[in-house]
Structure 1
């Protein structure tokens, strides 16, 4: 009887592949893609849904466009920190994405896509580790725990977003002339 070797939970950076740390989750929300994109692209909205992101704001004179920068404040396990992120995709009503750390030195990429289905939208949220960095953990077990934690966080975020739109809580958030 042959058994495959179990991954070493203490394996360090030298033997880890960052591409193994990625996932996508999705949900249906009761709103058109343009409306969902508008709220996701307004990064200050994320704290309404995310259990970890407590505040986010674009730099002065920036907004949801490729190349724009924003700062985000996060909380996890009693720790708090601020990140700098750069928008890498801003396709109104279709997709929004950013890289924590920016395109040249990023460690994590977040992507959102929006596809019309019936009267609502299928929202896909993806998380992908771009490179290894000790701030995220130094062993396979650390990174496995991080991926599990982030997966749970995304699932909570998407469920909260679906509930938010189901209750039509975002109606007053639309800027004049914004479709949706």
Structure 2
């Protein structure tokens, strides 16, 4: 029997770890200031082209274990996601997992390193597990990674610009 396959036929051959990236930008603010901004998830719409109306659950804040919700947009679609903070190191790192720490689908992480009078901000995105909602083929998941990479680059550039123009340091 002669079987012909394409890269798009076998989801089981895909590994979630293959769909990750990291981008960096220097911003004109101290790590503590940058941390305060990025850990205030309600401010994400200032920088992100894809997320808004992000709010912590009642009486929650930027601490490990806290939950928040946000509205997301992509390709003309909108949805609400739930995320849980998994790392909160003031002035150093902030991370959350979409779907929660136990069964999440995507990990977002920001790390901060002082450099000169500012900070190198590193933002990472990583699939934790494959899920049909994100795509079922290598082509779809590669497209998602490219889309998210562009989103992160826009977010970092917007954050840097906002900090450069913001009078409060």
Name the structure 2 match of 1:106.
104
* TM-score, normalisation: structure 1: 0.89
1:40-92 Cα distance to aligned partner (Å, 9 max, x none):
00001110000000221100010000000000110111100000000000000
Name the structure 2 match of 1:4.
none
Name the structure 1 match of 2:60.
62
1:8 positional shift: 4.1
Name the structure 1 match of 2:124.
126
User: How many Å separate the matches in 2 of 1:11 and 1:26?
Assistant: 34
C-alpha distance 144-8 of structure 1, shift in aligned 2 (>3 A): farther
Name the structure 2 match of 1:137.
135
Kept after mapping to 2: 8 A contact 1:59/1:71:
yes
User: How many Å separate the matches in 2 of 1:125 and 1:8?
Assistant: 33
One of 19, 41, 66 as aligned partner of 2:39:
41
User: How many Å separate the matches in 1 of 2:10 and 2:63?
Assistant: 37
1:94-145 Cα distance to aligned partner (Å, 9 max, x none):
0000000001110000000011111110000000000000000011100000
Name the structure 2 match of 1:72.
70
Name the structure 2 match of 1:95.
93
Kept after mapping to 2: 8 A contact 1:27/1:123:
yes
Name the structure 2 match of 1:19.
17
* TM-score, normalisation: structure 2: 0.94
Give 5+ residue unaligned stretches, structure 1.
1-6, 172-179
Superposed structure 1 runs of 4+ greater than 6 Å apart: none
One of 69, 84, 87 as aligned partner of 1:86:
84
